[in-house]
Structure 1
Amino acid sequence: MSDLTLKQRFIASLERKDVDKVPVCSVTQTGTVELMEMTGAKWPDAHYDPEKMATLAIAAHEITGLEAVRYPFCNTVMPETLGCTVREGSLDSQPQIIDFPCKEKKDVAGLLVPDNLLESKRIKTILQATDIVKDRLSDEVPIVVGILGPAAIACCLCGVNNYLMWCITAPEVLKELLVLGTSVCKEYANALFDRGVDAVVIIDSEAGPDLFPPPLFQSMILPFYRSLTKDMRGPTILHICGDATEILDDMADSGFQGLSIEEKVNLAYANQVVAGRACLVGNISPVFTLLERSPEQVKKEAKECIADGVGILSPGCGIAPHTSIENIRAFVAARDEYYGLG
C-alpha cells in the first residue's frame, strides 16, 4: 500500500479501507497570510478571482505539504448567490454576511432557487477555479471543495434569531428553507463532481448542538441529509463545528462518508459511537494548537490524534489566517514521524 497516491489514500480512507498511513490535510479553509504574501494571491481578491483562488489553494498543498487542495476560503458563496448582502473582508478576515432576505416568515415563500444557479457569479468563480486547479495539479492529488449545508443556508437566509425561533414556533417555514438549501446543495455539489472534484465538504454547523436543539436534529435535519447524500455523485464529508457529541450517532447514519469534528468532541469516544459507519476527520484545534502552540506541541497533539483512531488527520475547523507555515509543516511531519517515516 506504500505506493498509494495521495488521492488513492484519501479516497480509501473515506471508504474506511486499510491504508499505509492516514492522510493529513485540511478539509476546511487553508488560506494563510504567509501563503498570500508568498504567492501574491491575497484576500479579499482570492475569494472572487478564480485564478488567485486556485493559486492560493494549490500553495497550501505545495508549500506546506497538506495532502489535498481545498477551496474556497469563505462560506459566503451560496448565501450571496441566494440574496444575502456580503461585506468582502480583508487580507486576514473572511467575507461576512451583513444582511439577509427573509426577515419575516412571509418572505420565505417568495424565495426560489435561481434557474441559472451555476451561472451565478460566485458559483461560477468556484467552477472556474476548479478547472484551473485541475489543469495545474497532478491527478494524484485530491481536490476538496467546501459548500454550505441545508441548515447553514437556512440560517444565512433568515438570520440567526429567526432561525432559532422558527425551529420551535414555525418549523414548517424553516423546513421550506431546508428544502431550498438541500436542492441548492445537490445541484452545486454535483456540478463540482462533474468538474472533477474528488470530495465535497458540507459545512453545516448551524445544525449542531451549539445552535440547533439536539432533540430536533433527527426529525428536522437528518431526513434532508439522507436525501442529500443519496443523490450525491461523489464522496461527501459533513463538517459541524462545536461539540457535536450529542448528535454523533445520527450523523453517522446520515450517509456522509466522512464526519469532520472539532477538538471539543472526544475522538476516542466518537470512534466508539460511530463504530466504523463513517471516517472521522479532525480534530486538531486550529486556534489553540495550530495557531498558538509551538511546532513540537503541534506534533505531540497530532500524534495523539492518530493514536486515538482518526481516519483523516485534519484541523477541526478552518485554519486561522495568521497560522505559521512552520506549524502547518509540523502538523504534516507529525504524521510521518508517527509512522516512523520522519
Structure 2
Amino acid sequence: WPDAHRDPEKMARLAAGLSMLAGLDNITVPFDLTLEAEAFGAPVDFFEGQVKWPTVTGFIADDASDLRIPGDLLSAGRIPTVLKALEILNEEYGGEIPVIAYVNAPFTSIGSYLVEPSEFLKWIKRTPEKITQLCNEMYPRYAEVANAFAEAGADIITFREEGASLDSISPSHFDDLIKPYLKKMVTLTRAPRIIHICGQCVSGDLELITGMMECGAEAITIGETTSMRAAKEIA
C-alpha cells in the first residue's frame, strides 16, 4: 500500500488475501473511490509511504462541457490495472470464489471527485438540471467500464453511490436525479449487478430502499448505519 492501487499483481494478491486470511466470501477490486475520476483527468494523491486512501488534489469540472472523456477510456488512468487484476483473479479463483468489481457511480464520482463537493450539493436545490446533464452525459462511460470489468473476469458488478444516502439527499432527489440513470446502467451492464449505498438509507418515514430496488439490480447492499431490520421490512 499504496502500490496495490497501481500494480495489478499486488492488487490481486491483496484482494485475495482478505478472502484467504479473513474468510470473506468474495474477492473485490479495486480498493479506492478515485479510479473513474482519475481516468477522466482528476489529479490523485496516493500518499506515498502512508496507509491512507487516495484522494483527488483538485476538482476539474463546473459543468458537463468541462469534462474531457479520453478517446480510449479503458486505457486511461488505472483502469488497465484493474482489468489485469481481474484477469489474474479469474484465472486463479474463477468458479470457486466470486470476484466482484465495483464502479463508483456518477452522482458520487462526479459530486465527490470531479466537482467541488459543497458546490455540487448546492446544485441539488438550486440547479438540479446541471446534475441531470452531467450524469446523463457520463453514465454510459461508467457502464463501459463496468462491462470491461465483467469481460476481464468480474462475476458481479457493484455500482457504489456512496454519496447518495439520506445524509446528503432526500428520497425524491434519489428518484429524480439518480434512479433514472442507475436503471439505465443496470440495463447496459452484462453481468449480475448490485446497487450499494453507504450512510443512512432509512430514517423515520424517509427511506431509499424502495428506490434502490427499483433500479433493477439483482441485489442491493447498505452500510452498517442503516437498520437491517428496517431495511428488510421495506424490502
SS at the partner of 1:99? coil
Aligned residue in 1 for 2:124 = 167
Instruction: List aligned pairs for 1:123-134, cutoff 5 A.
Output: 123-134=79-90
Aligned residue in 2 for 1:19 = none
The equivalent position to 2:136 in structure 1, one of 167, 175, 179, is: 179
Aligned residue in 1 for 2:36 = 78
SS at the partner of 2:157? strand
1:92-127 C-alpha deviation (Å, 9 max, x unpaired): 21101121101x34xx31324322000113101100
Aligned residue in 2 for 1:92 = 51
Distance change >3 Å, CA 208–CA 263, structure 1 → 2: same
Q: Which runs of 5+ in 2 are unaligned?
A: none
In the superposition, the TM-score normalised over structure 1's length comes to 0.64
Aligned residue in 1 for 2:169 = 212
1:267-320 C-alpha deviation (Å, 9 max, x unpaired): 12211211xxxxxxxxxxxxxxxxxxxxxxxxxxxxxxxxxxxxxxxxxxxxxx
Aligned residue in 2 for 1:235 = 192
Q: Distance in 2 between matches of 1:72 and 1:110?
A: 26
Q: Which runs of 5+ in 1 are unaligned?
A: 1-42, 275-342
Shift of the alpha carbon at 1:74? 0.8
Are 1:154 and 1:174, in contact at CA under 8 Å, matched by a contact in 2? no
Indicate the structure whose relative CO is greater, using CA pairs within 8 Å and at least 6 residues apart.
1
The equivalent position to 2:25 in structure 1, one of 57, 64, 67, is: 67
Larger radius of gyration: 1
Distance change >3 Å, CA 46–CA 135, structure 1 → 2: same
SS at the partner of 2:179? helix
Are 1:151 and 1:221, in contact at CA under 8 Å, matched by a contact in 2? yes
Shift of the alpha carbon at 1:205? 1.6
Distance change >3 Å, CA 258–CA 268, structure 1 → 2: same
The equivalent position to 2:7 in structure 1, one of 31, 49, 56, is: 49
Are 2:41 and 2:68, in contact at CA under 8 Å, matched by a contact in 1? no
Q: Which runs of 4+ in 1 moved over 4 A?
A: none
SS at the partner of 2:19? helix
SS at the partner of 2:102? strand
In the superposition, the TM-score normalised over structure 2's length comes to 0.92
Aligned residue in 1 for 2:220 = 259
Q: Distance in 1 between matches of 2:217 and 2:143?
A: 13
Paired AA for residue 120 in structure 1? A
Are 1:149 and 1:181, in contact at CA under 8 Å, matched by a contact in 2? no
Instruction: List aligned pairs for 1:148-163, cutoff 5 A.
Output: 148-155=104-111, 156-163=113-120
Q: Distance in 2 between matches of 1:233 and 1:180?
A: 20
Are 1:83 and 1:100, in contact at CA under 8 Å, matched by a contact in 2? no
Q: Distance in 2 between matches of 1:177 and 1:67?
A: 36
Aligned residue in 1 for 2:70 = 114
Same amino acid, percent of matched pairs: 29
Shift of the alpha carbon at 1:91? 4.1
SS at the partner of 1:93? coil
Aligned residue in 2 for 1:302 = none
1:62-104 C-alpha deviation (Å, 9 max, x unpaired): 12221211111111110111121111035421101121101x3
